[in-house]
Structure 1
Amino acid sequence: MAHVLLKRVAKTYNNQPVVKGLDLVVPNGSFTVLVGPSGCGKSTTLRMIAGLEGVTSGEIWIGDQQVNDLPPGKRDLAMVFQNYALYPTMSVFDNIAFGLQNRGFSRKACKSLVEEIAEVVGLRPYLDRKPSQLSGGQRQRVALARAMVKKPQVFLMDEPLSNLDAKLRNQMRVELTSLHKQLGSTFLYVTHDQVEAMTMGDQIVVMNEGEIMQAASPMELYNDPDNLFVAQFIGSPAMNILPEDERGHRLLGFRPEKAAITHTASQAAMQESRYVFRGTVTSREILGSDVLYYVETPIGRIVVKRDPETLTEAGAEVVVTVQKEHMYLFDKTTGKRIRHAERRNANSALAGGLM
């Protein structure tokens, strides 16, 4: 096991910056997830760590060794790709053992190591089969086993579940997190799926346009976002964002599940709530355990997430209330969180009211 350290790492293609001076610590033994929209630089970052892409500037450290000039095979890493990259004419056993054989391991040593890893990932009954005879989930396990058999310091995974159907993807998420706990190794995982990131990672690094927006635990990102991008990228449905006032220099944010929806606004509710909005339910989505209401107000659309015990019909006139402590404030120009103003407003009875 080893930590991974990036110091001002940058990557430029044709004078266009793709990764912009990243500083990042991937702790030893952590499950760290790089997440962000397509083209944000997360896969490029992973490939630079793996040695598959050169670094334009900055330093990459694995453990106590700077690896900028080391070839991929000398970095003591294992990478799992999106397309599995299995040899179709080889058996599962030979696919897993291929790297060991190239490194001069004896047939006996290969057999022992492959069978040990195959037992861990549930592939013992399939060692004689070809990849074409396996399901998508089984092929993914072969790719994982091939990486695991090397017993590397760090596992790198580039969207390894994206080719699987939804049910199998959910199953493999559970298996990967269990595997991480069992191995205790350092995992660095790339995905564009924020649900995947939130359910798997103990550290999540949110990226956008080649920069790190925030690196934190899942619940810290959700409850304490540093900026507008993180606030809206993390969470489903996304955070509601509305103008604070007519000047529009600042934006208000609140999570859909933190809002209450009623047909009237009681005096107590108006006194207790920092913000109260009048609007009309334009549509709703019944999801079983939850209901999403889409409410059109004079200053924008609000999404409210509630339990289905009391349903409100589309077309109903409603009042949406949000407690003071659940409101976030952002600078409209920079997108940065305005924390001091939140604290001041939370202790003030001013600026609230019925909209």
Structure 2
Amino acid sequence: MAEVVLHQISKTFHNQNVVKGISLFVPDGSFTVLVGPSGCGKSTTLRMIAGLESATEGEIRIGDTVVNQLPPGKRDVAMVFQNYALYPTMNVFDNIAYGLRNRGTPKKECKVLVEEIAEIVGLTPYLKRKPSQLSGGQRQRVALARAMVKKPKVFLMDEPLSNLDAKLRNQMRVELTSLHKQLGSTFIYVTHDQVEAMTMGDQIVVMNEGNIMQVAAPMDLYQEPENLFVAQFIGSPAMNIIPAENGSGNLWGFRPEKAVILPDAVSQVGGQEMLTLRGRVVSREILGAESLYYVQTEKGRVVVKVDTDNGVDIDSNVQVCVSPSYLYEFDQHSGKRIVRSATERNQMLAGGGV
């Protein structure tokens, strides 16, 4: 196990700066997820940690060792790719044992290590099968086992579940988080899927255009986004963003599940002062226990998430009401969140610019 520290890391390809001087601390034993849209620099960052790409500037440290000049094989990391990269002519046992044999591990020790890891990941019955005889989830477990058997300080995973169907992805998410707890190793995991990030990571690094936008625990990201990008990237459906009504020119945001949808005649909930947006229901999605209402208001289209279908019909005139305690404010120029007290939030709705 080892911590990983990046200090002012940059990467330039063909005069294009794809990673822009980022610094990051990955705690020993953590499950850290790099998440962001395609092209944000997350996979490049992972490959620089692995040694598959060299950093243009900055320092990478794994444990107590600066590894910038070390080849991948000397960094004591193991990488799992999205395409598994298994040898089709070898059976499962030989695929897992391949790295050990290259190291010169004695045959008897190699056998013990492979069988031990195969038991952990549930592959014992499949050791004599070829990859073509396995399901996608089983092939992914072989790739994991091959990484695990080396007992590296750090596991690096580049979208390892992206080739699996939705049901198997959900299953493998649970298996990976359980495996992490069992091993206690440092995991660094790259994905563009914010659901994967929120359900798996204990530390999430949100990236955009080569920069780190925020580093936090999952619920801290969701409840306390530092900027507009994080607020809209984390959460499904995304946070609603509307022009502020306090004369500042800034933007207000609220989560879909924090809004209440009411008939047009009702203006308040329990006598409380509310942000009230009048509009018309243009669409509705019933998702079983939850429903999503898409409402076209005078401030733009917003989404409201309710626990059950409340009988509001498409084309109904409604009001979307939000308590000031659930409002976020973002600077119109920088996109940074402006943190206000409860009193200031109530004043915003009273019409005073604070």
Give the Å deviation of 1:219: 0.1
How far apart in 1 are the matches of 2:120 and 2:238? Answer: 38
Distance in 2 (CA, whole Å) between partners of 1:350 and 1:243 is 16
Q: In structure 2, do the counterparts of structure 1 residues 238 and 9 end up closer, same or farther at CA, with 3 Å as the change threshold?
A: same
Distance between the aligned counterparts of 1:348 and 1:138, measured in 2? Answer: 55
Contact 1:226 1:336 in 2 (8 A): yes
Tell me, yes or no, if the aligned pair for 1:249 and 1:333 is still in contact at 8 Å. no
Could you tell me which residue of structure 2 aligns to residue 4 of structure 1? 4
The Cα of 1:172 is off from its aligned counterpart by: 0.3
Shift of 1:326: 0.3
SS, match of residue 98 in structure 2: helix
Matches of 2:44 and 2:267, distance apart in 1: 55
1:33-112 pair list within 5 angstroms: 33-112=33-112
- Separation of aligned partners in 1, 2:209 and 2:70: 27
Q: What count of residue pairs does the alignment treat as equivalent?
A: 352
- In 2, the alpha carbon distance for the partners of 1:55 and 1:343 equals 47
Q: What is the one-letter code of the residue matched to 1:297?
A: T
CA contact (8 A) 1:328 1:342 kept: no
Deviation by residue 1:120-144 (Cα, 9 ceiling, x = unmatched): 0000010011101100000000000
Query: Within 2, Cα distance between the matches of 1:273 and 1:150?
Result: 60
Q: Work out the CA distance in 1 between the residues paired with 2:268 and 2:211.
A: 45
1:350 maps to: 350
The equivalent residue for 2:174 is: 174
1:26 alignment partner in structure 2? 26
**1:97–1:146: 8 Å Cα contact kept in structure 2?**
yes
Residue number in structure 2 paired with 1:296: 296
Gaps of 5+ in 2: none
1:19–1:148 Cα change, 3 Å: same
The DSSP-based 3-state class of the residue aligned with 1:68 is coil
Calculate the TM-score normalised by the size of structure 2: 0.96
The equivalent of 1:311 in structure 2 is: 311
Match of 1:138 in 2: 138
CA RMSD of aligned residues (A): 1.6
> Aligned with 1:174: secondary structure?
helix
Question: What's the CA shift for 1:264?
Answer: 4.0
The 5 Å alignment of 1:200-219 reads 200-219=200-219
Q: CA deviation at 1:14?
A: 1.4
Cα displacement (A) at 1:274: 3.5
Alignment of 1:220-239 (within 5 A): 220-239=220-239
Who is 1:325 aligned against? 325
Identity %: 69
Structure 1 stretch 236-245 or stretch 115-124: which is displaced more?
A: 236-245
Q: Residues 261 and 320 of structure 2 are in contact (CA less than 8 Å); yes or no, is this contact kept in structure 1?
A: yes
TM-score normalized by structure 1?
A: 0.96
CA distance in 1, matches of 2:192, 2:108: 41
What is the deviation of 1:270? 8.2
Distance 2:79 2:346 in 1: 48
Counterpart-to-counterpart distance in 2, 1:2 and 1:141: 23
Contact preservation (8 Å) 1:251, 1:331: yes
What is the CA–CA distance in structure 2 between the aligned matches of 1:348 and 1:58, rounded to whole Å?
44
1:269 partner SS: coil
Aligned partners of 1:79, 1:109: CA distance in 2, in Å?
A: 23
Q: Distance in 2 between matches of 1:267 and 1:164?
A: 47
